Structure 1
Amino acid sequence: MSIADHQTVRVLSGRFVLERAADAKDAADILAAVNGPDGGAVMRRVDEAEDPADAWAALWNGDAAHPPDATGMLAAIVAPLAVGAVPVWVAASFDGDIVLVPAARLDEVTRLLAEAGHRVEG
């Protein structure tokens, strides 16, 4: 068994939206930014999303930091979500990963992760 098999994942406070980097409105609210060939994207905190269907919840698996070369950490989180047909958007940090999931499906996400052997807090 590897450390990836039984992770603790914390639900971060707030709700988030995904935006193209060029459309980001307030840098202070940005949780993560990715600069890609397409101009990039940001995860931005917006607790009062205009359309609740656009709101995402953020999961964090880095409270028990894992080394950057640990294998399977992100896969162990997103695989059970893929089986449940839950869309995700991810960004890696030095100590862990941020996984955005549709906020309306957070109860389902918690159940899927628990069934896969993970613990969800928050």
Structure 2
Amino acid sequence: MTAAAPQRLRVLPGGWTVRHLPSGTPVPDEAWLAVVRAPEGLTVVAPGGPDGWRALYAGESAHGVDAPGMLAALTGPLAAAGVPVFVVSTYHADLVLVPGDRLAVACAALRAAGHTVRT
């Protein structure tokens, strides 16, 4: 397997919450960063809230959807550092959410793996 190229990430400002809404729920008429509809319901990533997630956006080194290993290159070092993640992928980029109290550890692990992280 070929290793994915180092990526450039930036930490988005503020905290984020991840919510699950029941199947059939309409998309919220409020601010949100990502909404994913699946058979079991709607997942919403929105600003604020009690969850305290922080978002790392890997859109500064956008890649095609057929580039292998790009997400693994981010989640592997985070897993090795014991940092849980919640990931939302778009056509152009990945959004990796980490617990707010683990942001510094996450940034250090990603930098040690060769990625650039702007805070």
TM-score by length of 1: 0.85
Q: Percent identity?
A: 39
Measured after TM superposition, the shift of residue 16 of structure 1 is 0.2
Question: Structure 1 stretches of 5 or more lacking a match?
Answer: none
Q: 1:40 aligns with which of 42, 58, 65?
A: 42
Measured after TM superposition, the shift of residue 24 of structure 1 is 9.2
Measured after TM superposition, the shift of residue 92 of structure 1 is 0.7
Distance in 2 of aligned mates of 1:86 and 1:4: 20
Distance in 2 of aligned mates of 1:24 and 1:95: 25
Moved more, 18-27 or 71-80: 18-27
**C-alpha RMSD of the superposition:** 2.3
Distance in 2 of aligned mates of 1:16 and 1:103: 9
Residue 96 of structure 2 corresponds to residue 94 of structure 1: no
Instruction: Give the structure 1 partner of residue 18 of structure 2.
Output: 18
Distance in 1 of aligned mates of 2:43 and 2:28: 13
> Structure 2 counterpart of 1:14, which letter?
G
Higher helix share: 1
Kindly tell me the number of residue pairs found equivalent between the two proteins.
117
Instruction: Give the structure 1 partner of residue 80 of structure 2.
Output: 83
1:2-34 deviation digits (Å, cap 9, x = unpaired): 683311111111110110134899544211111
TM-score by length of 2: 0.87
Residues 24 and 42, structure 1, Cα contact 8 Å, conserved in 2:
no
Distance in 2 of aligned mates of 1:77 and 1:64: 12
Distance in 2 of aligned mates of 1:66 and 1:17: 26
Question: Structure 2 stretches of 5 or more lacking a match?
Answer: none
- Change beyond 3 A, Cα 1:116–1:36: same
Instruction: Give the structure 2 partner of residue 31 of structure 1.
Output: 33
Instruction: Give the structure 2 partner of residue 4 of structure 1.
Output: 4
